[in-house]
A and B are shown apart, each in its own frame.
Chain A
Amino acid sequence: MTVLGIDTATPGLGVALAGPDGLIAETTIHIGLQHSQTLLPAVEWLLETVGSNTREIDGVAVTIGPGSFTAVRIGLATAKGICVAGGIPLACVSTLAASAARHAWLSFPVVPMLDAKRREVYVGLYDVSTGEPVAVEPDTVVSPHDWLENHTREALFCGDGALAYRDLITEKLGAKAHFAPPWVPLASAGVVAVLGRQKMLRGEIVEPDAATPVYLRRPQAVLP
């Protein structure tokens, strides 16, 4: 079973293919939010490069948020189209869980942070000590200042929110704060493809009809 992984939730675009032996191929492109133009050309290139084609895709795994609303929808709507028209299963993975999973086996928690604008971050707290990302707290959206008031343990910070608020995090946590190296990409399509494939094998499949992003924020709208 070959699974196509898609991550469009961050300013990084990620596409990947995973099979029985794990990751087959992964591409990450960090050129800002141009996912609508780059997503399917990247998938097409990836398939061609590994000598495969669309008929060999047996399922799609996609990041479901949190992240840029529009960007998450580009990935999810594309995945819905592929799954409905291809008659193949869909699996959804939290953007933050996928980001944390890149640091498997770490003995202290991983804190994926995405810049949510408006001086807030999408943030999660994940235990990865067993090799799999396990959410210690639910993903949330909060000001980094408030989050750091309540979290003082040693942790590894990753994501563009961790970069944006690095000074604040260092100021609050000092040597207890570690940061993911710059070669760890924002997009996590490889993780998504592998985790999504595992989910499918466990039967954790989402109906494309009902699949909806994890926004964590209500739309900005004011009743008259």
Chain B
Amino acid sequence: MIVLGIESSCDETAAAVFDTESGLRSNVIASQAEHIPFGGVVPEMASRAHTERIVPVVRQALTDAGVTLDEIRALAVTAGPGLIGSLLVGVSFAKGVAFIRRLPLVPVHHMEAHVFASRIEHPDLAPPFLALVVSGGHTQLIWVPKWGTYRVLGTTRDDAVGEAFDKVAKILGIGYPGGPLIDRLARDGNADWVKFPKAFIKGDPFAFSFSGLKTAVLMAVEKTPENELELRKADLAASFQKAAVGALVQTTLRAARKMRARRVVLGGGVASNSALRREMEAACARIGIEVTRPSPIFCTDNAAMTACAGAFWFERGRRAGYNFNPNPRLPLDAFGNE
């Protein structure tokens, strides 16, 4: 059974073809470089770029997979959360295709797709597990007792962790997007140069907060003499990354112990961060928990994970009508649990 997935929740226009028998057949991602000069995603520019790229990206995904629309059995499309203008382009296009071809349309939650991302390369991956989805827009700890059932244990109170990486990169003047740039710069830095605070929320043991950390970096930069700053950027980046990753790892472990999890599954763009992977694997190994993480190409926003989750839900009857509307704040249980 072959599913075409379409993802346009933020600044990646993506399409992929997933076959429930042979696995992933194609995975096309058009990243929007036009946001780089602005140091962040400009929603209206993102919507415009999606409108221009959606057709070439979908055509490429079909060509790469060696299939035509005649072989597609269902369309999976990101229904939210995300930027509404961006979501609407993917959803409207998918609805047009579904309408004229009389194909079923399967709405997919973007966070759920990030959880399914690990299943693309690990088809035997089996719940229960604890998922940590970390990106520029999201920081969520999700308990997955079985595929298709989710319980959000913790989320961020302010900035998403990827957003904190972007903002710190801006403070350090090293560019955008901040994640990979800080990761690279931190390799040459002393992570103990500044002891940045890790925020934990009283009474909410699985919540995250990164806005105080960002402010602490700003203050440390202001305290650094101007002639030293260039030399200290790597140390500041490494110290920030240590604190951010430390908060993610400690909170994940606390939740894993509470849920008696035997496995942690990573997802989202920040799951590509080398320090997070290293620290999470080391900390989990110490208490006998296994870590599953997707390859970087499935960490960033992509439609392979949308198609993979869509195939799962297609077989369980999830459908959207032509009156279906994307939701920028879609709750994880919006379409019901399995």
A interface with B by C-beta (< 8 Å): 36-41, 43-44, 54, 57, 69-70, 73-86, 208-210, 212-213, 215, 219-224
Contacts and interface: CB of A to CB of B under 8 A. Distances in A.
Interface of B: 37-39, 42, 44-45, 47-48, 51-52, 54-56, 58-59, 69, 84-85, 88-102, 170, 321-326
Contacts of B321: 41
A94 B325 CA distance: 26
B325 A37 contact: yes
Given A85-B100, A212-B51, A221-B38, A78 B93 contact: yes
Contacts of B54: 77, 80
B178 to A, nearest CB: 13
Given A40-B99, A54-B99, A209-B56, A81 B51 contact: no
B51 A213 contact: yes
Contact of A43 (B39, B91, B99, B170): B99
B96 A85 contact: yes
Contact of A36 (B44, B45, B56, B91): B91
B320 to A, nearest CB: 11
The secondary structure that dominates the B interface is helix
B97 A77 contact: no
A59 B308 CA distance: 33
Contacts of A70: 47, 84-85, 88
B10 to A, nearest CB: 15
Contacts of A77: 51, 54, 88-90, 92-93, 96
Given A86-B100, A209-B56, 13 more contacts: A36-B88, A74-B88, A74-B92, A77-B51, A77-B54, A78-B96, A80-B55, A81-B95, A81-B99, A85-B96, A85-B100, A208-B55, A221-B45
16 contacts: A36-B88, A37-B324, A41-B322, A57-B100, A69-B48, A70-B88, A77-B93, A78-B95, A81-B95, A82-B96, A84-B59, A85-B97, A85-B101, A220-B44, A221-B42, A223-B38
Contacts of B326: 36
B198 to A, nearest CB: 28
A80 B93 contact: yes
Contacts of B96: 40, 77-83, 85
B144 to A, nearest CB: 30
A89 B99 CA distance: 16
Contacts of B52: 210, 212
